[in-house]
Amino acid sequence: MAKRKLKKNNTYHSSSVASVKPKSQKEMAQTEKSATFALAAVALVVAVCVAPLAAEISSSDIHHHKHLSLKMDEAQLTVNNELSYEVQVSWMSQRCYQCLYQQLGVVPAGLGPGQPSSVNFVVSTQHEITVQINSTPIELELCKIPFHFGEHGNYSLWVKTLNASFGVNCSVVTDKDPVNSYIPILVAFLIYALLALVFAIGKKVWGLDAVRGLVLRLGSSMETERLINSELGPTRVVPPVTDNILPPPLTSSKRLRSLDTFRGISLVIMVFVNYGGGRYWFFRHESWNGLTVADLVFPWFVFIMGTSIALSINALLRAGATRCSLLRKAVWRSLQLFIIGVLVINPNYCQGALAWENLRIPGVLQRLAWSYLVVACLDLLVARGQLDVITVDAWWSPAIDFLLYWPAWLCVILLEVLWLFLTFLLPVPDCPTGYLGPGGIGDMGLYVNCTGGAAGFIDRLLLGEKHMYQNPSSRVIYATRIPYDPEGVLGSINSILMAFLGLQAGKIILHYRERPKSIMSRFLIWGLSLGVISAFLTKCSTDRGFIPVNKNLWSLSYVTTLACFAFVLLMLVYYIVDVNKWWSGAPFYYPGMNSILVYVGHEVFEDYFPFRWRMSNSQSHAEHLIQNLVATSCWVIISYLLYKKKIFWKI
């Protein structure tokens, strides 16, 4: 959303009201190993050396008021009241749907003509807000101004009486221009883009026969000279330089690099946002309805897990494994994931040693465990070890990847019916049936303790409030008061659907494995179909649809929307990486090959150097961004080193 920039004394935003009005409501061939390592290392060094781009807050003598100490995403607003009575200043975020105004404070009456009383306030700059001025003690709306304040900017809001009437005029003037807090993102993007360009050019240059021959001759000459100088006697066979650079020969059981690349993309972004994402709001989870970058990656990880299930079970069945043995492996793997999630990376460690009284039971790995177990069982129910005997000449062959597995689809549909029933028909005490809102100050504060409706109620009933997530994202904008877990029980049903849609992508790859164009067209068809479903469920709006896109609820529209994106993104990565081989998938391919280790490791070592250090200015987006990029780059380098040593942690 573009910020309004207003120049002092000549540009302002005003709002006038002729008479008093009542309140109103508003909301991607493996790449060369050594070259890749050098690329990642250079990226890390450059990221460390980037100087923080922070702006200093200078003092201003406007009205001789002392300026407040501002943090990230804050601005100063000075309200100047020339009226003969005091006024109350309130605010509401435009991302807050049907919310109550929150009070900023009271400004006393003016001292006389041309002698306004002034009070300084700190306001949020993440989103556009609406400032409301009311009279006191009778709360009557005098004026209302929507405005997007800039970070560390200073603004004045003047409240005056119109000359020819009893109406009130309100205008906002920019006293000090805000800083551009997005410059560090641009700088980081340009650095990584430049490194990628250098790497691409280097790869092309290395592919030239003249360059490669020169390197080989230089290497051979250096080795001969070393042997002569050291008087080692007969020469020994030295592996050519290319052994460490060229990819291994292709095998019949070639692994699709696009799948690991897709998984790595999801994982790298997940690590980055978990480390803080530079403290930018769009790298944090949305407070309630809607999407940010942080809301995309977990469903994609669940999706590609489902795809891997289809390929893995098919390969094992073709190798002669029994369904019972595969079922035992699935149960054991799910149990390990669940235990690691509860006992190793539980967020309650922030409060000290774990104790049952406040142990959070749901979590990311716990949901992965549950989704993996259910989808693996469904696939074992219908999976076929030999697919070559299936005809593709029948009239129903275009839907072969769907119709052959109708029992599993029936189970998933029944699960979705259960989700719909519980969400919209389960009575929740003191809350409207079918409520999907955030509670708190949302919905005009009528349902303060109804956060999540049936989803929150079921978690509190089955788990208890002390075993749930205590700091949900809904507190940021909606000021909710009760615990709510975004990885709760009811949302797990839709995570199964997400993994099953990924399983469907795996079935497409299996049935059309010799026809890449068919695979890509099927991916596009699925993506388009799911997009249409999402448009219907949401009415193409954030808050006004039948089922809004909501990460906290893992709503049906959230799953269909993210699955739509996943099919399209997987198609693009498959086309670029496996079909045309324009890209090896590096560097995302490497963490994608060691996903569990990277995820668990980034959680366990989050507070250790070099993943975190004491910053000189904790209120700088630039310093946070540098720290988070360095930490994420470290895990990419670690995953590359583990890949080079052929170390993979599998559960």
| Residue from 337, 354, 348 nearest 599 by CA | 337
- Interacting residues of 89 by C-beta distance below 8 A, sequence separation 6+: 79, 103, 104, 105, 106, 107, 119, 121, 131, 132, 133, 157
pLDDT at 165: 61
pLDDT at 66: 57
pLDDT at 345: 85
Domain boundaries, the chain: 74-179, 257-350+364-645
Given the residues 65, 67, 127, 285, the one annotated as active site: 285
Q: Beta 154-161 vs 140-147: how paired, if at all?
A: unpaired
Please tell me the distance from the alpha carbon of residue 102 to that of residue 157, in angstroms, as a whole number: 17
pLDDT at 237: 42
* CATH 2.60.40 for domain 74-179: yes
| 225, two tokens | 């000279």
Write the burial class of residue 332 (CB in 10 Å: 0-12 exposed, 13-18 middle, 19+ buried).
exposed
| 325, two tokens | 């043995």
| Residue from 407, 400, 419 nearest 458 by CA | 419
- Which residues of the chain have a pLDDT value below 50? 1-12, 16-65, 227-228, 230-253, 389
Query: Which amino acid, residue 146?
Result: P
Please tell me the distance from the alpha carbon of residue 188 to that of residue 627, in angstroms, as a whole number: 12
pLDDT at 112: 76
Please tell me the distance from the alpha carbon of residue 583 to that of residue 595, in angstroms, as a whole number: 20
Say which DSSP state 115 is in.
B
Kindly report the pTM of this predicted structure: 0.84
pLDDT at 3: 39
Dump pLDDT digits (tens) for 170-215. Answer: 999 999 999 999 999 999 999 999 998 998 888 888 878 777 777 7
- 85, containing H or E segment: none
Does residue 156 sit in helix, strand or coil?
strand
- 171 pairs with which residues across the strands? 14, 158
pLDDT at 383: 86
Contact 145, 158 (CB under 8 A): no
- 90, containing H or E segment: strand 87-93
Contact 76, 68 (CB under 8 A): yes
Q: Which residue has the tokens 């709760």?
A: 488
| 217, two tokens | 């001759």
127 classed as catalytic: no
pLDDT at 621: 94
pLDDT at 464: 92
pLDDT at 31: 40
Please tell me the distance from the alpha carbon of residue 30 to that of residue 250, in angstroms, as a whole number: 11
